[in-house]
Structure 1
Amino acid sequence: MTTNASSVPGIILPAIVVSQFAGTSLWFAGNAVLPELQQVMHLQNEALALLTSAVQLGFIAGTFFFAFFSIADRISPRLLFLLCALLGAGANALILPLAQNLTGVLLLRTLTGFLLAGIYPVGMKIAAGWYSKGLGRAIGYLVGALVLGTAFPHLLRAFDGVLPWRMLLLTVSALAAAGGLAMYLLVPDGPYLKKAARFEAYNMLLAFRNNAFRRAALGYFGHMWELYTLWAFTPFIIAFALPQLAPGEVSLWSFSVIAAGAVGCVGGGYLSQRYGSGEVAFWQLLLSGLCCLLAVVVLQVSSEVLVLLFLLCWGVVVAGDSPQLSTLTAQTAPAHLVGTALTVVISIGFAVTIISIQLMAFLLTRFPPYAVLPVLAIGPALGLLSLRHLRVAKR
């Protein structure tokens, strides 16, 4: 097989990226309308925490289920992406008639998270079916799209009131459904897509027999310890360090800090073509770990420009290693189990985020952010220990 990135039809990568962004927009639709749901359902802050974590828990359950049954490797990934996008769009839209029923909304958000397991990792498998040497660049674009989707609710909050919350939910549902259709119609199976795997109960663990795969997976877990926790508390950190900012300004800067990760993802993807995914992932993880430690000093200075510049730089590198770690995972997994391997690693990685977020929430009730953010450096430190042997891995 000699197919490379230069011989892939030009429509393939844009179609995958746009479809991935459209599908994963379901993830953050609930966050964008949380204040409105709070008013409609008369929710306390504790209930809002449940709404926020429901998608995460659903996603973990979904990825575990898909990995155990090797679903992403047993049926067409394009068809799986389409079905999950359509069903996820429906689950998101059903929030409207159940908006005054907390239990119903929680179940729908959990179901949405479950279905996202057939969108996010499956999109990467579809890309892996088209790209070999250029996989790091392709996944860089994919994760960059996800990062922008993560940041998008903060942009909406910065311009609150532009789009009614009910219309916002329906718009996101329509976008997700269109993304599923675009993936199915515009992206045929790639030349590197392997024959479907038979179901075996141990498929989800088979890849971990490979030492290189274990190192890539451990690097990803260390990265996840830091990533979503920083994202979750970015508005809190900005509001603490820069109390002079208005709420709209805090939301706008939160969007900017998180969205900066797309620069790290795309830029790292191009660098991986020259230096390899292992090398790029190692250096980005090292820099983000250093930012965890430097926060002790920088967040106590009085310069608004310095604080914001520091957070923007942190935003670039904290997400920039993610696509290269996923690339290493795909490249070191058994060829017939790439979808299952990606899914189980992502599932474990998101379980790690729940532990990290809960720990940080507990510490922030007792200490200021600059005093506890170094705890996030634990993940990058452990990840670097695993990645040091993959730095020279061929892309």
Structure 2
Amino acid sequence: MSSDANNDSLFSSFQKWRNLILLALAELLAMTLWFSASAVIPQLSSQWNLTTGQKAWMTMSVQVGFVVGTLISAVLNLADRFSNRYLFAISASCGALFNGLIALFPVSAQSTIIFRFLTGAVLAGVYPPGMKLTATWCKKDRGMGIGLLVGALTLGSAMPHLLNALPFFGADGMPPWRSILTATSIMSILAAIITALFVKAGPHLSQTAPFNWRYAGQGLAYKPTRLANFGYLGHMWELYAMWAWTPIFLIDCYQNSQWSLTAARLAGFGVIAIGGISCVIAGVLADKMGRTTITILSLVISGACALLVGCFFEHPVLATAVCLIWGFAVVADSAQFSTAVTELADSRYVGTALTIQTSMGFLLTLFTIHLIPWLKDMIGWQQVFMVLAVGPALGILSMACLRRLPEAARLASGNK
């Protein structure tokens, strides 16, 4: 009996890690769609003479679409009523289609923004369902599991910058932007295949729930999840504006010192990609040391980097070093806010709670993504990122308040 029990345990562990790794791979491939157009803004600007506003909308349109998609999903409880793996696969396929249409047909800046909006809308069926699927395989190590998924998302978000930096498509200078978009669409199709055919839900949080639109508002009505969501909002105030504009900041920084443009693009990829490592590390530490402890520490470091990074615009090496530290810290806490919600919310509607959390967060990013280029034209790169430090400050306050609540004992198996 003992031998059979050990065999069952080993098989369960194998199944768990097989599904988590495949799901992380699918998330990485699908989320390459997010910054596919943002990474090739220099090429698009050269072809279409984009205004500052149009450049911002190449990223903001995805955010707007994602917010609309997540609101619809949350109200309809899609992530709790339907199979998450099929929802993921269908959404990734639709995202590949909308993204691919930009590359395969003659388009203008205006029609590209519309297709980017549609891409963002269907990605609402990729990210939150992916987190819930991960949570079905994890209980005591849920922070690590969702950290692995968000790390994969981070690497996927950085991937277009890598494709744009290296001569994968036989280009000596800037690679053809249509090739970058086509490549990311192919990656998203692979993500859909992996999820539909090889990923299964685990034993936790796997039950389906009846439709109840009222649960879309529970994330703010219930104080513990409200504070976790406020912490997440402080984090999101900073994250996507940093991801969207730091690679552009580094390009200007390197060009200002007459450094290699390819090196600048690689640095931009590294600044985002390094967060893939920090998400997993922070997840492991948060499961042992506490959710609020790790989120507060991450927010302190990222906020400090936001205040300091502009001071090194004239010094590419130092600017890159600070950006790498910032990239490591700025997303390290992301999965822990979501994990906290899975531990605090009604277990029947975890998918809806995660969807509404991400909807609120990405709605906020619209403001800061648009704010940064506008402020940059007014005050320059040296000071513009300081405004992002407001988010970490408010996030720290929210998580400190959550830590004091009795319900915080449900976080990380009692590790606040």
- TM-score, structure 1 length as denominator? 0.91
Q: Contact between 1:99 and 1:105, CA under 8 Å: does it hold in 2?
A: no
Deviates more, 1:181-190 or 1:160-169: 160-169
Q: Secondary structure at the match of 2:331?
A: helix
Structure 2 counterpart of 1:293: 307
TM-superposed deviation, 1:156:
2.3
- Written as runs of structure 1 = structure 2, the 5 A alignment for 1:1-395 is 6=13, 8-37=15-44, 42-45=48-51, 46-160=53-167, 161-162=169-170, 164-242=176-254, 243-244=256-257, 245-295=259-309, 298-299=311-312, 304-391=316-403, 393=409, 394-395=411-412
1-structure distance, mates of 2:188, 2:85: 14
Q: Contact between 1:279 and 1:390, CA under 8 Å: does it hold in 2?
A: no
2-structure distance, mates of 1:186, 1:10: 12
Deviates more, 1:14-23 or 1:168-177: 168-177
TM-superposed deviation, 1:39:
5.7
1-structure distance, mates of 2:219, 2:374: 35
Q: Which amino acid aligns with 2:209?
A: A
Q: Contact between 2:298 and 2:332, CA under 8 Å: does it hold in 1?
A: yes
Structure 1 counterpart of 2:3: none
Structure 2 vs 1, CA of residues 113 and 133 (structure 1 numbering), >3 Å: closer, same or farther?
same
Q: Contact between 2:219 and 2:229, CA under 8 Å: does it hold in 1?
A: no
Q: Contact between 2:164 and 2:180, CA under 8 Å: does it hold in 1?
A: no
Q: Which amino acid aligns with 1:80?
A: L
Q: Which amino acid aligns with 2:336?
A: Q
Unaligned residue ranges in structure 2 (runs of 5+): 1-8
Deviates more, 1:239-248 or 1:190-199: 239-248
Structure 1 counterpart of 2:4: none
- TM-score, structure 2 length as denominator? 0.87
Q: Secondary structure at the match of 2:202?
A: coil
Structure 2 vs 1, CA of residues 386 and 173 (structure 1 numbering), >3 Å: closer, same or farther?
same
Structure 2 vs 1, CA of residues 171 and 200 (structure 1 numbering), >3 Å: closer, same or farther?
same
Task: Output one character per residue of 1:321-352: Cα deviation in whole Å (capped at 9) or x when no partner.
Answer: 11111111221111111111111111110111
Q: Secondary structure at the match of 2:379?
A: coil
Q: Which amino acid aligns with 1:99?
A: P
2-structure distance, mates of 1:48, 1:237: 14
Structure number with the higher helix fraction is 2
Structure 2 vs 1, CA of residues 279 and 390 (structure 1 numbering), >3 Å: closer, same or farther?
farther
1-structure distance, mates of 2:338, 2:235: 11
TM-superposed deviation, 1:290:
1.9
Unaligned residue ranges in structure 1 (runs of 5+): none
Q: Secondary structure at the match of 1:169?
A: helix
1-structure distance, mates of 2:222, 2:353: 11
2-structure distance, mates of 1:306, 1:154: 21
2-structure distance, mates of 1:230, 1:28: 13
Structure 2 vs 1, CA of residues 8 and 95 (structure 1 numbering), >3 Å: closer, same or farther?
same
Q: Aligned Cα RMSD in Å?
A: 2.5
Q: Secondary structure at the match of 1:29?
A: coil
TM-superposed deviation, 1:353:
0.9
Structure 2 vs 1, CA of residues 239 and 103 (structure 1 numbering), >3 Å: closer, same or farther?
closer
1-structure distance, mates of 2:59, 2:392: 25
What is the percentage of aligned positions where both structures have the same residue?
Answer: 37
Q: Contact between 2:163 and 2:180, CA under 8 Å: does it hold in 1?
A: no
Q: Contact between 1:98 and 1:104, CA under 8 Å: does it hold in 2?
A: no
Task: Output one character per residue of 1:204-227: Cα deviation in whole Å (capped at 9) or x when no partner.
Answer: 002333221111100000001111
Q: Secondary structure at the match of 1:233?
A: helix
Q: Contact between 1:210 and 1:332, CA under 8 Å: does it hold in 2?
A: no
Deviates more, 1:383-392 or 1:107-116: 383-392
Q: Contact between 2:104 and 2:178, CA under 8 Å: does it hold in 1?
A: no
